[in-house]
Structure 1
Amino acid sequence: MRSIWRTLDRGPLRDIALVCLAVGVIGVSYGAASVTAGFAWWFPVLMGALVLAASSEFLFVGIIAAGGSPIAALLAALLVNARHLPFGLAVPDVLGRGWRRLLGTHLMNDETVVFALAQDGLPRKRAAYWACGLGILVCWPIGAALGALLGSVVEDTGALGLDAMFPAVIVALVLPALKERALRRTALTGCALALSAVAFLPAGLPVLAALAALPLFVLISKRQDASPAPTEPDPNQGPEPSASSKSSKSSKEAAR
């Protein structure tokens, strides 16, 4: 842990702390919704520590609460967690080796990957990944436990609007990266695909439809690499001669 504090500056550490706090608040909503749906108080806490994936946990509880079978809820949750496959391809060197790699894989989620990719250099990426992952591992189950206690008192937990914090935090994290044209167009296309899929897909699955926009990023990046870079005039050579001066010079040379 000392290496994390020494590697990261105050800015990233402050942002990580705020995100972990926001995740804990979302955990309150998750725990309250689970108890309201009929689960025991310990269930969201145990799921929060072992699964550590908010969207799949929300989807699992929602399907069970709607009368679905546990098998269908499990399959839907696994499908939502399929987004971790490209996550693992994006941060293979950050996870480490041996038991650290196993623990690092368990800590993988949207926030840890975003913070890792936002840093420069492998040491800073690793420090941000582990700081965020361990913080969420603590805050998410604690929030779920507080929510389980709250769910026995508040009947309509959706009125609190706690689940709106998660997308707000993710948007705030990815906004600086959208300055790049390829990322911006790909993100907007993915948003359009996800919004169009909301009408006919269950909760948690539209985000997977957004992954269909990934080939667009590769295509735009290849076009940018293939386009020639604009050449700047050499200040030592002076201004380029105009067309009239070029024609007069060529006529003089022909007369000679």
Structure 2
Amino acid sequence: MAEQTTSASADIPEDGPRASAPGSPPAPAGKPDSAVVRDALGVGIAVGLSGFAFGVTSAGAGLSVGQTCALSLLVFTGASQFALVGALAAGGNPLTAAAGAFFLGVRNAFYGLRLSQLLRLPGPVRPLAAQWVIDETTAVALAQPSRRAARIGFTVTGLTLYTLWNLSTLAGALGAEALGDTAAWGLDAAGPAVFLALLAPMLRTATERTVAGLAVVLGLGFLPVLPAGVPVLVAALAAPAVLWYEGRRRTTSGKGTDR
């Protein structure tokens, strides 16, 4: 833990750009606050408006306006929300649907571990900030060159996205009856599409791409034969399977080198 804290502090200075090591290329110049706010607003507005699609899909799955809005207010993680209502709409067991949504949301806990070191927020603020630890706020915060910029990016993205997501969820739930069949409009695919668009640029290593590819194969492969909500649980096995294989391969390679 001490090594992690030291590393985080060295990587992200409080107010200035990242320091460059001797002999390395110059560190990037500090980013103006206005540029951070602009980028954060762009992400928050673009993704926040897709809450309309969730509101329509949720209402189409049989949830009331109150239940739909409660999911956005309390859960506030789009992929998990879409997974839950999608499984319910397909006739899945509520417990299985909730389990699938839960496993999708677990990733936010890992985001929180990294962001806690990066942002270093005061203790009383952390429980409130935890509600905003999602893909978009994490991506914006980690892209910043300093702790100050990361805090601004996280706060502006979180506030904008949370506000617009909940307002557009309400609008979608209220307008679902007027729109009719959500499948005809393709709105049920809007949320997952946004999630995948944000995830794709983050798959930088071969291991990450392998995990993502295997998860897709498992999810789609078991979709026709397993009850709704279960394929996403099976897809979650991709990460431990690939990590086990990588560990075994490195161990074998290490033994071969020793010889």
Name the TM-score, length of structure 2 as normaliser. 0.68
Corresponding residue number in structure 2 for 1:250? none
Corresponding residue number in structure 1 for 2:6? none
Q: Which runs of 5+ in 2 are unaligned?
A: 1-30, 224-228, 251-259
Which protein, 1 or 2, shows the higher relative CO under an 8 Å CA cutoff with sep ≥ 6? Answer: 2
Whether contact under 8 Å (2:214, 2:238) holds in the other structure is yes
Whether contact under 8 Å (1:190, 1:209) holds in the other structure is no
Change (3 A) 1:169 1:86: closer
- What letter matches 1:189 in structure 2? T
Matches within 5 A, 1:118-133: 118-133=143-158
Deviation at 1:66, TM superposition (A): 2.6
Cα RMSD between the aligned structures? 3.1
2:207 to 186, 204, 207: 186
Kindly tell me the number of residue pairs found equivalent between the two proteins.
Answer: 210
Distance in 1 of aligned mates of 2:214 and 2:126 = 33
| Higher Cα radius of gyration | 1
Matches within 5 A, 1:1-256: 9-93=33-117, 94=119, 96-162=121-187, 163-164=189-190, 167-168=193-194, 171=197, 175=201, 183-198=204-219, 199-200=221-222, 202=229, 204-205=232-233, 208-209=236-237, 211-212=239-240
% same residue: 30
Whether contact under 8 Å (2:82, 2:191) holds in the other structure is no
Name the TM-score, length of structure 1 as normaliser. 0.69
- What letter matches 2:197 in structure 1? V
- What letter matches 2:222 in structure 1? F
Q: Deviations over 1:213-238 (max 9, x none)?
A: 56869x99xxxxxxxxxxxxxxxxxx
Change (3 A) 1:128 1:139: same
Whether contact under 8 Å (2:141, 2:153) holds in the other structure is yes
Deviation at 1:25, TM superposition (A): 2.7
Corresponding residue number in structure 2 for 1:243? none
Deviation at 1:48, TM superposition (A): 0.4
Residue range with higher mean Cα deviation, 146-155 or 201-210: 201-210
Whether contact under 8 Å (1:193, 1:210) holds in the other structure is yes
